[in-house]
Amino acid sequence: MNIEELKNLIKGDVTTADADLVRYSRDASIFEVKPEVVIYPKDPSDLKNIVNWVNDNKSNHPDLSLTARSAGTDMTGGPLNDSIILDFTKYFNHILEVGDKPSGYAITEPGVYYRDFEKETLAKDLLLPSYPASHLLCAVGGVVANNSGGEKSLSYGKTEDYIEELNIILSDGNEYVFNALTSEQLESKKLQQDFEGQIYREMYSLLESNQEVIQKAKPDVSKNSAGYYLWNVYPPAQSEAKRIFDLNKLFVGSQGTLGLITKIKFRLIKPKKYSKLLVLFLKDLAPLGGLVNEVMKFKPESFETYDDQTLKLVLRFLPDLIKKMKGSALSLFFKFLPEATMILTGGIPKLVLLAEFTGDNEEEVDEKLKTAQEAVKEKFDIKTHITKDTEESEKYWTIRRESFALLRKHVGNEHTAPFVDDVIVHVDQLPMFLPKLNELVAQYKGLTYTLAGHAGDANFHVIPLMDFRDEANRKAIPELSEKVYDLVGSLHGSITAEHNDGLVRTPYLGKMYSTEILELFKQTKNIFDPKNIFNPRKKVGGSLAYSLEHIMHE
């Protein structure tokens, strides 16, 4: 690759320093892929020049590619690749507008950290409710490209529900604006004699001629990040005139494989003012299915869970956790005493469930909590607790949200190993699914793992801790993936509710989609990116051998 030529084309920065390449060879996944060069593009015209340069050089250098990166907290290897990495956080980091007329919205560049974005939206009493648990670490470009979700997705859905408009640089090197189109607008786009017009014509034809098989392939779960969401682009409506054609439904969650996002317009909501938790302590998993269904009747805003291993590990790293929380270290330390005592006396619950009830006045919230608590007590012999205030709730939220981040920093030679980290089934399958999932993981004796997730959606994060130098562990990764994804596939669930495919799951997409659908994914990629310049091996063209070769070594 002629780096000097590339440098002369753009205003932004370029690095090939080994320390930088090493840094960009990792995300929060189990993989390591060293790029050749990292570029910090300054503006859309830099990106256009880079895309054109790659197009011009691709035939002589078939391995040339462009992989976008925002904050690099992806758990799948999504922002990793061996050619050019484009980091958006250095220059594409401006929030352009936050407003509430006619309703809440924000216009932003993709490299803005979510924590900064949220400060500005909350200042206007607005919120993007699909923020992930990595809200202190991630950036909004990654949130869109992964179709992220989080604790509030139970009530508010995922990022796909909050995108009004995207600016994208496509593989022809031009920037386009995408939004939802009426039938009439679609017809005029299809008439355009340029690359955009060609995309609309070809996608329309692909979707219309395969409509039935595409609609049937839609996973029967409340959240899905796997594959390209073809079924959402041009869904059937009551009348042809009312049909909406929205390519943003395809870009969201596509992991930068179809183009580069340069600007995002989000729809935002007004968050509820008051929130308290009903905490449920389970000694075993047996009542879980019935309990989740019971609590869901009272419509909690979120319904989260973490297990005994999470709690034990969190207590091991308590000083770090306390640093992240508001309040004096001593008072926070005392807050965790009940949990520490539980562990010492062997009374630790197997699973803790957090049902969050919200409202615009405190009485309304208290009433909801009391009713839900009484109903639970009537039917289940379990310990329950209602948090007094936000400060008390924060302890539970911190355990739930921060455990993965904490684990990543610690534990000697062992790494967090997210590879069956995001399975989801239909809520009705929960009573049967969790024991089976546990059984599969328990076959690997000595494998420590934490279980946490979104109980209300039946979406669970199983995160083992592994020493990657141990061959047995490396072997367990594809073995266990195969078994878990077979189970999820047999229940028509999704292999990833929020974290996406990347290197870790692209090879397994066949576990939930037919060969016909996988072929439509390939055709979709080919319509947008015929030379395969954007983030190869993700979504389509993945190879298990490549992924296994790139599991980190230490």
Ligand X SMILES: Cc1cc2nc3c(=O)[nH]c(=O)nc-3n(C[C@H](O)[C@H](O)[C@H](O)COP(=O)(O)OP(=O)(O)OC[C@H]3O[C@@H](n4cnc5c(N)ncnc54)[C@H](O)[C@@H]3O)c2cc1C
Q: Does residue number 485 form part of the binding site for ligand X (CB under 6 A)?
A: no
Q: Does residue number 150 form part of the binding site for ligand X (CB under 6 A)?
A: yes
Smallest distance, ligand X to C-beta of residue 442, A: 24
Query: Looking at beta carbons only, is 146 or 171 nearer to ligand X?
Result: 146
Query: Looking at beta carbons only, is 68 or 126 nearer to ligand X?
Result: 68
Listed residue (307, 308, 330, 306) closest to 318, CA to CA: 330
Ramachandran assignment for 313, one of left (phi > 0), alpha (psi -120 to 50 degrees), beta (any other): alpha
Smallest distance, ligand X to C-beta of residue 253, A: 9
- The answer to whether 224 and 160 have CB atoms below 8 angstroms apart is no
**Of 12, 41, 104, 142, which lies in the binding site for ligand X, with binding defined by CB under 6 A?**
142
Q: How many C-beta atoms lie closer than 10 Å to residue 197's C-beta?
A: 14
Q: Does residue number 66 form part of the binding site for ligand X (CB under 6 A)?
A: no
Q: Does residue number 507 form part of the binding site for ligand X (CB under 6 A)?
A: no
Question: Could you tell me the two tokens for 85?
Answer: 């990495």
Q: Does residue number 481 form part of the binding site for ligand X (CB under 6 A)?
A: no
Q: Does residue number 167 form part of the binding site for ligand X (CB under 6 A)?
A: no
478, β-bridge pairs: none
Question: Could you tell me the two tokens for 407?
Answer: 């684990």
- The answer to whether 536 and 54 have CB atoms below 8 angstroms apart is no
Smallest distance, ligand X to C-beta of residue 547, A: 14
Q: Does residue number 72 form part of the binding site for ligand X (CB under 6 A)?
A: yes
Closest-by-Cβ residue to ligand X is 142
281, β-bridge pairs: 352, 383
* The one segment of 8-16, 63-71, 198-206, 431-439 that binds ligand X by CB under 6 A: 63-71
Q: Does residue number 498 form part of the binding site for ligand X (CB under 6 A)?
A: yes
Tokens 């015929």, located at residue: 530
Q: Does residue number 248 form part of the binding site for ligand X (CB under 6 A)?
A: no
Smallest distance, ligand X to C-beta of residue 49, A: 16
Q: Does residue number 28 form part of the binding site for ligand X (CB under 6 A)?
A: yes
- Size of residue set near ligand X by CB under 6 A: 38
DSSP assignment of 60-114 equals T-TT--EEEESS---SSSTT--SSEEEE-TTTS--EEEEE-SSS-EEEE-TTSBH
Q: Does residue number 73 form part of the binding site for ligand X (CB under 6 A)?
A: yes
Helix intervals (H) in 297-446: 308-316, 318-324, 329-335, 337-344, 362-379, 390-409, 430-442
Tokens 């006396």, located at residue: 345
Query: Looking at beta carbons only, is 236 or 530 nearer to ligand X?
Result: 530
Q: How many C-beta atoms lie closer than 10 Å to residue 204's C-beta?
A: 17
Instruction: Burial-class residue 545 by CB neighbours within 10 Å (0-12, 13-18, 19+).
Output: exposed
- The answer to whether 232 and 507 have CB atoms below 8 angstroms apart is no
* The one segment of 38-46, 135-143, 303-311, 441-449 that binds ligand X by CB under 6 A: 135-143
Q: Does residue number 138 form part of the binding site for ligand X (CB under 6 A)?
A: yes
- List all residues 6 or more positions away from 61 whose beta carbon is below 8 Å from its beta carbon: 1
CA dist 422 and 461 (Å) reads 5
Contact code string over 319-358 relative to ligand X, x by CB under 6 A: ----------------------------------------
Running DSSP on this structure, what letter comes out for residue 271? P
Q: Does residue number 134 form part of the binding site for ligand X (CB under 6 A)?
A: yes
Q: Does residue number 145 form part of the binding site for ligand X (CB under 6 A)?
A: yes
Query: Looking at beta carbons only, is 326 or 409 nearer to ligand X?
Result: 409
Q: Does residue number 46 form part of the binding site for ligand X (CB under 6 A)?
A: no
Q: Does residue number 227 form part of the binding site for ligand X (CB under 6 A)?
A: no
- The answer to whether 489 and 220 have CB atoms below 8 angstroms apart is no
Q: Does residue number 529 form part of the binding site for ligand X (CB under 6 A)?
A: no
Smallest distance, ligand X to C-beta of residue 454, A: 8
Smallest distance, ligand X to C-beta of residue 377, A: 30
* The one segment of 140-148, 206-214, 315-323, 358-366 that binds ligand X by CB under 6 A: 140-148
Q: What angle do CA 104, 106, 109 make, to 5 degrees?
A: 170
| Phi–psi pair at 288, nearest 5 degrees | -55, -50
Residues 257-286 binding ligand X (CB under 6 A) are 260-261
474 alpha-carbon distance from chain centroid: 24
DSSP assignment of 291-312 equals HHHHHHTT--SEEEEEEHHHHH
Q: Does residue number 139 form part of the binding site for ligand X (CB under 6 A)?
A: yes
Q: Does residue number 451 form part of the binding site for ligand X (CB under 6 A)?
A: no
Q: Does residue number 224 form part of the binding site for ligand X (CB under 6 A)?
A: no
Contact code string over 387-426 relative to ligand X, x by CB under 6 A: -----------------xx---------------------
What residues make contact with ligand X under the rule CB under 6 A? 27-28, 67-75, 78-79, 88, 110, 132-134, 137-139, 141-143, 145-146, 148-150, 255-256, 260-261, 404-405, 498-499, 535
